[in-house]
Amino acid sequence: MAEARILTVAEAIREATDIAMEHDPRIFVMGEGVSDPKAIFGTTAGLAERYGAARVMEMPIAENGFTGIAIGAAIMGRRPLIVHQRVDFALLSLEQLFNNAAKTCYVTGGHHTVPLVVRMIVGRGWGQGPAHSQSLEALFAMVPGLKVVMPTTAREAKGQLIAALEDPNPVIMIEHRWVHYATGHVPEGHYTVPLDGPRRVREGGDVTIVATSYMLLEALRAAETLNKAGIGADVIDLAVLRPFEPDLIIESVRRTGRLLFIDTGFRQFGIGAEVVATVVEQAFGSLVRPPVRLGLPEHPTPSSRALLADFYPTALSIIDAAAALTEVEPERIAVPRAALAAELAKLPVDVPHPTFRGPF
Q: What is the mean pLDDT of residues 220-245?
A: 97
For the stretch 29-41, pLDDT in tens is 999 999 998 999 9
Contacts of residue 330, Cβ cutoff 8 Å, sequence gap at least 6: 323
Q: What is the mean pLDDT of residues 65-90?
A: 97
In this chain, the answer to whether the domains covering 5-186 and 199-345 adopt an identical fold is yes
pLDDT at 359 over 70: no
Mean model confidence pLDDT for the chain: 95
* One-character DSSP codes across 67-126: HHHHHHHHHTT-EEEEEESSHHHHGGGHHIIIIIITTHHHHTTTS-----EEEEEE--ST
Sheet strands side by side (includes 292-296): 199-202, 233-237, 207-211, 259-266, 292-296
Task: Give the pLDDT of residue 1.
Answer: 41
* Residues taking part in catalysis: 63, 132
Q: pTM of the prediction?
A: 0.95
Q: What is the mean pLDDT of residues 211-226?
A: 96
Q: How far is CA 122 from the centre of its chain?
A: 9
Enter the CATH code of domain 199-345: 3.40.50.920
Task: Tell me what percent of the residues of the chain surpass a pLDDT of 90.
Answer: 89
- Confidence grade of residue 349 (pLDDT, cut at 50, 70, 90): confident
User: How many whole angstroms separate alpha carbon 342 and alpha carbon 212?
Assistant: 25
Q: What is the mean pLDDT of residues 195-216?
A: 96
Query: In the chain, where are the structural domains located?
Result: 5-186, 199-345
Cα–Cα–Cα angle for 188, 157, 292, rounded to 5 degrees: 145
Closest CA to 121 of 47, 65, 173, 182: 173
Domain 5-186 bears CATH identifier 3.50.50.100: no
Lowest mean pLDDT among 90-99, 166-175, 299-308, 317-326: 299-308
Q: Count CB-CB contacts under 10 A for residue 24.
A: 12
pLDDT at 271 over 60: yes
